[in-house]
Amino acid sequence: LALFTDATTGQRRIGRIVQRLCEIETYKAMSMLGFMQARDMAGALNDLDGQLSTLMGAMRSGAGTAAEETLHALLDVSVALEALTAETAYRFAATGAYEAIVYERISALREARFLGRQGFGEFMMRRYAPAMRTVKSTETRLQTLAARALRAADLLRTRVDVERSAQNQAILASMDRRADLQLRLQHTVEGLSVVAISYYAVSLAGYLLYPLAAPLGVTKGLLTAAVTLPVVLGVWWTLRRLRRKIG
């Protein structure tokens, strides 16, 4: 880079111009570090974008692996994108600051077109601005991919929760049916218990009342038939009262 000055230009003016040119070159070189990092991570972003598109396609079609496995894969992609964001956040922010300084120094030169030739600002706009736009587009793409991955994970997590709720409802319905069957079985057992206990109670009552059959002038069979109904009712009432107390 050469600087040709008019003879009337003062030394201080020349010094300021040289200083600004040096600052432009310095901050331009520092800002290009962000461009190199953006170029290096393009392959990783392409891979993650492909993985995210594949997983979202599987979510939309409902085919492939289970929802929980897809959710884990989406979370892995989100973690990778967050790691890239944390790794490049400082460099991209610094690149934006250096770019602003470069354009500020170019503006401070207050250059004018000479003999129709390309100016320094125009040269920088054509050669330097595309690199800075690449950095900005890479940063925006990274943020967009991270947001897409998080939204997809939230949607899939909601689907998993809904499926689990449906499974829980099915389990509760099955438990209700089992409880109903157990209740019916319990009522059946209680009915059989009434019959069995009544049989033994009638037998015991018969043994106790058989000595009274002759004085009363009745047969043992008639005496047994007479006490059967009161004994059965007494057993049924006693078991029902115990069941209410326990319940």
- The pLDDT value recorded for residue 118 is 64
Tens digit of each residue's pLDDT, the chain (247 residues)? 666 666 777 788 778 878 888 888 888 889 999 999 999 888 888 998 888 888 887 777 664 456 777 778 888 888 888 889 888 889 999 999 998 988 888 887 777 776 666 677 777 788 888 889 999 999 999 989 888 888 888 877 777 777 778 778 888 888 888 878 877 777 676 666 766 777 777 777 776 666 766 676 667 677 677 777 777 777 777 767 776 776 5
Cβ atoms within 10 A of the Cβ of 67, count? 18
pLDDT, one tens digit per residue, over 77-102 is 888 888 898 888 899 999 999 989 88
Place of tokens 């037998």: 203
- The pLDDT value recorded for residue 155 is 78
- The pLDDT value recorded for residue 246 is 64
DSSP 180-238: HHHHHHHHHHHHHHHHHHHHHHHHHHHHHHGGGHHHHT--HHHHHHHHHHHHHHHHHHH
- The pLDDT value recorded for residue 167 is 78
